[in-house]
Copies of this chain bind each other. A is one copy, B any other.
Amino acid sequence: MKLRARGILLLIIPLAAAGADPSAPVVLALAVIYAAALIGGELAARLGQPAVLGELLAGVVLGNLPLAGVTAFDYIKTDPGIDLLARIGVLILLFDVGVESTVRQMLSVGVRSLLVAILGVVVPFGLGWAVAAWLLPEGGPFAHAFVGATLAATSVGITARVLKDVGQSQSGEAKIILGAAVIDDVLGLVVLAAVTGVIAAANAGTEMSYGAMSLIFVKAFGFLVGAVVMGLAVSPRVVRWSAALRTKGAPLTVSLALCFVTAYVSYLLGLAPIIGAFAAGLVLESADYQPFRQRGGQSIEDVLHNLIQTFVPVFFVLMGMNTDLRALADGGVVMLAAILTIVAVIGKVVAGVAAGGGVNRLAVGIGMVPRGEVGLIFANIGLGLTIGGAPIVTPTLYSAIVMMVIITTMITPPGLTWAFGRRG
């Protein structure tokens, strides 16, 4: 499409240089994504499902139009600009989730979250390893461990959005899920680091250093605790200081700068940037913004929701677009994917039991199910790993993992809606 559009341009305007603009294909992609998100979200809402499911499915339709011979929108899947906007969207989404939570609330569910997270890593890792050893004995222990690591991942973006859509983002379940997801992200990275480290050591003929593994672990928890402790001391002062500024909209600028800096520090430490964005939101209480609200009329939540509206559909439609329905034609892949999916769901639902009494444990478990972009990142890393020159993850296994990621992500919105509905 990009090339074709340029072709038309060169055809009809011999002096196209004057109008050349690298943002043009991105802008077209955004318009297409917004139209798809609006149609999909509206249909989902009318069927009593969260809008995000509609956005994902609209993305699946859009992404598989080449099967119907329409390739005009195919460039969207790999456009770096759209990828960037999607990633910024996830950061802002997690930041907003953090702003709506308070540290006190998080600590009050801390032990439950910790238990859910630990079980949610250990059980899927064990089940994944066992299933891979059973179905793919020829893959060897490295492939088995890798499948386990992929199943241990959690992507909280979609759950955060569903919790918002069904009006549960302030519930006890939401706090436990989000707390667990943060811990889970750290644990998942440690597991992945361990697995890839062992493989790298095996290739080098040496052994993985437990010291290096512990370092990652310590750094991750140290960052979170440090960010929260520092943030609680600093952020009210920053907000109060910026409330004294004459610049209109300073709260938004300050908030975004804090969110992005913390996300970047998190990245520098080898953690997912969303951990930083969430931590930044956690220390910023919406009460701190009261002075701005009195002046400007808009609450920080309203402001952030406008940004979420702008960026986040890009992420979900894009995730849907990257689902290749042609993989469904391969029976072996489908069978492997189905078994991995079942194990992936069981592993996290079992972990939900650790949420304890007084909350909807099934909802907590289902909330932890989606592997989302974290699962896809893991799968892509696996595709690049080799042992003695042979790839650890075969194309068949990769397709199955991707399908598992997609299905766990797709079933979460209706599953979570159903789990909350059962209680109410």
Residues of A participating in the B interface, judged by any CB pair closer than 8 Å: 5, 8-9, 12-19, 21-24, 26-28, 30-31, 34-35, 37-38, 41-42, 45-46, 51, 80-81, 83-84, 87-88, 91, 189, 192-193, 196-197, 200, 212, 216, 242, 245-250, 252-254, 256-258, 260-261, 263-264, 267-273, 297-298, 302-303, 305-307, 309-310, 313, 377-378, 381, 384
Contacts and interface: CB of A to CB of B under 8 A. Distances in A.
Given A27-B273, A306-B307, A307-B307, 12 more contacts: A12-B269, A18-B378, A21-B87, A21-B267, A31-B257, A31-B258, A38-B250, A38-B254, A45-B246, A51-B247, A51-B248, A80-B81
**A42, A51, A253, A297 interface centre (most CB from chain B within 10 Å):** A253
Given A192-B15, A306-B252, A23 B84 contact: yes
Nearest to A164: B248
A16 B298 CA distance: 40
A15 B219 CA distance: 13
A53 to B, nearest CB: 13
Across the A-B interface, the 8 shortest Cβ-Cβ residue pairs: A13-B270, A23-B87, A31-B260, A34-B257, A249-B309, A15-B193, A306-B306, A24-B267
Nearest to A251: B309
Contact of A9 (B38, B197, B268, B378): B268
Query: How many copies altogether?
Result: 2
A381 B193 contact: no
B245 A38 contact: yes
Given A31-B261, A88-B27, A45 B192 contact: no
Q: Which of A17, A19, A306 has the most CB of B within 10 A?
A: A19
A87 B297 CA distance: 29
A247 B45 contact: yes
Nearest to A275: B19
Contacts of A256: 30-31, 34, 310
A22 B309 contact: no
A249 B46 CA distance: 16
A199 to B, nearest CB: 10
B27 A264 contact: yes
A187 to B, nearest CB: 12
A15 B196 contact: yes
A19 B310 contact: no
A38 B257 contact: yes
7 contacts: A15-B270, A23-B83, A24-B264, A27-B260, A28-B264, A297-B302, A303-B306
B84 A26 contact: yes
Contacts of A196: 15, 17-18
A142 to B, nearest CB: 15
